[in-house]
Structure formats: structure tokens, C-alpha cells
Structure 1
Amino acid sequence: MSTNGAGEPGTGEGSEQGTRKGMFGVSGSGDTSGFGGLVRPVGDPHGAQRPYGGYFDEVADLLAEELAKRDVGFESAVTRVVVDRGELTLYVRPERIVEVCQLLRDSDGLRFELCSSVSGVDYLDAPLSTDPTEQSERLHVVYHLTSMTYRRRIRLEVGVTVENPHVPSVTSVYPTADWQEREVWDMFGVVFDGHPALTRILMPDDWDGHPQRKDYPLGGVPVEYKGAEIPPPDTRRAYR
């Protein structure tokens, strides 16, 4: 967990804004997951205020300084800063993601040398903004960066629409993102422009659709074992 200068948890975390029931947001069908009765608090992802706590303020300030050297305002690259569960997340505009990653990697005071993970998220029914212009950005790409020099970790997040799911590839900055971006493309359909070989990595090359999108049909997929077929979840018996 991040701490401020006095050793107490950082004060930048947002407040809770409601609750969400169940694990997967499914309603009106049989629940075979066992998570139907789960009630979880939903945090406010917009309200981080300084001090963020720990090294988070230093990272934000140093990144702002590096962007200013390129005549780029911090708000022109980062749309919001979120501190939640002891993690710092910078929401980056898609067109700035490569530039931000390069600055985070190469700047002496930052030195985030490792991109340990690139993953996808589909916020089908839970838009992260009350602004109608942002609600369509349901597909998000999340980058976990690690500074081995300073032993620090941060998250970057980029949102795009289903109609225009394009994000520049960061493989020129972090070669480890190669196969991870392929997996996000395969599962979520995010197109990484400039990727050296954006092909499927888990599903067959001729597979139709992207299985981890939340509007992707579940079940009913023929299995190559004695002609067996997995029934869709809404036709399975629900045990209560």
C-alpha cells in the first residue's frame, strides 16, 4: 500500500459510489457460478486528489515535467489520475500512449524499465464516466509498469470505442508487449497499430469474434470429443 510522508496510507483514493451485485453482471438467467448473491462496493474512479501518497506524487510531477519539455501539457496526455487499492493509475489518451511509455522508461527519475503485463477490459454496462462522450469507450487496455531501479509500480489505462478500437502498439518501447498485445487483440478485438505481427495467439486464425467481450455469446460451442456440445449458460439448471 502506498504511504504518505508520515507513513500513513495515501489520501488520494476516491470514495464508494454504490454497489454491484453478482460477479459477472448477468441477470435474468440461470446462475451456475455461485456468485449470484455477491454484493460488492463500486468505487469512484474519478476523485483522486493530491496528495496521492507515497511516490505517486513524484511520478506524476516528473512525468508532467518530461511532457512539458516536449511542449505537451499533462492534461493533453493524461485524462485523469486514480489512486485505488494502493495503486496509481494514469488514464492516457490513446494517441499519447507510446510517448508516455517512452518517457516513463527513459527518464532518469522514473525508469519504468519493464512492462510486466498488457491486458484488456470490457466495461459493457459500467462506463467509467458520467460524461456521455466517454461512455462509449467500453474497451480498455491496461499496462502494468515496473521500475526495477526504484522498485515502483504504476498502471496505465487507455479507453477506446468498439467502433474504433485502435491503440498504437508499444512494442517499440517494450518488446515484452508483443505477445500480450496479440492476446488482447485475440480476446477483446483491440487493434494495436504498428504491431509487427498482430495475429491470434489463443484462438484459431479463422475464429469469429473475440471471446472475452461481454456481449460474446457463451456456451453452445461444439467440442471435438464424441460430438459433445456445451449448452449456453441460460439453458443450464440453476441450483439455489
Structure 2
Amino acid sequence: MSETQKVWKPTEEAKSQATQFRLFAVLLWLGAIVAQIFAIRFFLQAVNSGESPVNAWVIGLIVLDLVLVFAGSFLWKKSNRLNPPSEQNKFLFYMQSQLGVVLAFVAFLPLIIFILTNKKVDGKSKAILGSIAGVALLIAGIGGADFNPASVEKYTEETNMVEALTGANSVYYTKGGGKYHLYEDCYTIKNSERLNGTVAEAHAGVANHSDFDLCEICKKKKMKEDGIDAETLNEKVKQMNEKATAPANESVETLETEETQKDAA
């Protein structure tokens, strides 16, 4: 990162792709809600006509609901890898990171309530449909959860780690890899087509990897070459992180103070 860009920022291409993924995710989630509405409709029609609600239409719509929610969550999480939220507002960060879980409940909970509270439905039918919808909710919830959410602060720390080790925001990576590297000849990527770019560009290039981070082999090799230990490196990164996340007005005040001192001199 340059002196004027201390906090990690996504590339313009990454922001554009993230917006597209989020749009498609919202459309898929809306489709899931529509599928749930039709499932409830067919469920009530069967109940009111004296037929068994355990039929192909209801079960098929539950499955369709699951597919749409799952696909939407996948795209949403992918968009967060490309253009992650900030951790400054914990609530908004959680909502954006775990929106797939929220939508899983929105897409299934009303249906489950309709099934379990309808007095005209026999216990066996409730158990079958309730179990199917419940399992679908569980799968959708797990699929929508992000157990390693990306954030601006996390990516800033990763970039600072690279700069602390090499003095430059430059890494090597492969489109199908799970790590980015400090050495182009790292043996884990020597037989692959290697790309070179910033940490932001690396994340944009392989945004489907939830655990995409610095190669430990490269990190330990560089530390050994420079003769630094983990404590020294972590302290340097910590100082860089604090500087990167300092309030903008603090930087302005510091600059004004420095200018005043120069004028006085």
C-alpha cells in the first residue's frame, strides 16, 4: 500500500464483480422466497381439499427453495471475498458476512410454521414435511454461514504482513491455488502458471477460496533469510495496522503539527 492508501482497498474490477454477484444473489434469494410462497399455497390447497399435503409439488418446491438459497449464499460469500465489509460496525459486519444464514430462515421458517401449526394436518404428514423443511433449513443455514469471513481489516493486516516481510505489496499466486506467495519459485506453485500482483489483486483472482492467505513456507523462508523472529514481525505488523486504521482526522492533525513545527523552525 502506498503512503496515501493505508487501508486495503479492492480493485475496481473486484468491486464490479462483487456488485454483479450480489445482484444475482438477491435475485436468487427472491426466487427462493417465491418458491416458499408457492409451497405454502400448494400445502394449503391440499389441506383444504382433504388431500395429503405430502405431495410432489410441495416437496419439489422445498427442494427448489433450498437450491436457490444455497446458490444465492454462494454468490454472496464470493462477493464478500472480492469486496469485503469493515469490522468497524460489528452489527453491519455480521449481517453482511452472515446474510446467507438470515435468508435461510426467511426462506424456510414461515413454511415450517405453517406446516407445524395447521390443525387440519395429521401428525404423520407434519412429521414428514416438517422434517424435510427442517433439514433443508439446516443445510441452507450451514451453506450460508461464513466461518472465515473476509474484512477490510483482515485484508489490511495481510497486506501489511507482506510489506513488513518484503517491503512491497507484491505476491505470486495461481488461479486455482489456495495461497499467495512471496517467492515465484516456491515449490508448491513451480509447476503452475503463476500470476503476480498486489494482495488485493490476488484475492480478486481467486475469490472462491475462503481460506486464501499467505503461504507459510514462503513466510518462514523470508523470516529465516532476514533473521527475524515471529515476535519482531508481529510487532512490526501491529504498528503498521495501527497506523493504517488510525482516524483520518488524526493524520490531518499530525500533518498540521509537523507543518507548524517546520514553520516555527
TM-score of the pair, normalised by structure 1: 0.26
More strand by percentage = 1
Per chain length, whose mean CA-contact separation is higher, i.e. which structure has more relative contact order (CA < 8 Å, sep 6+)? Answer: 2
Larger radius of gyration: 2
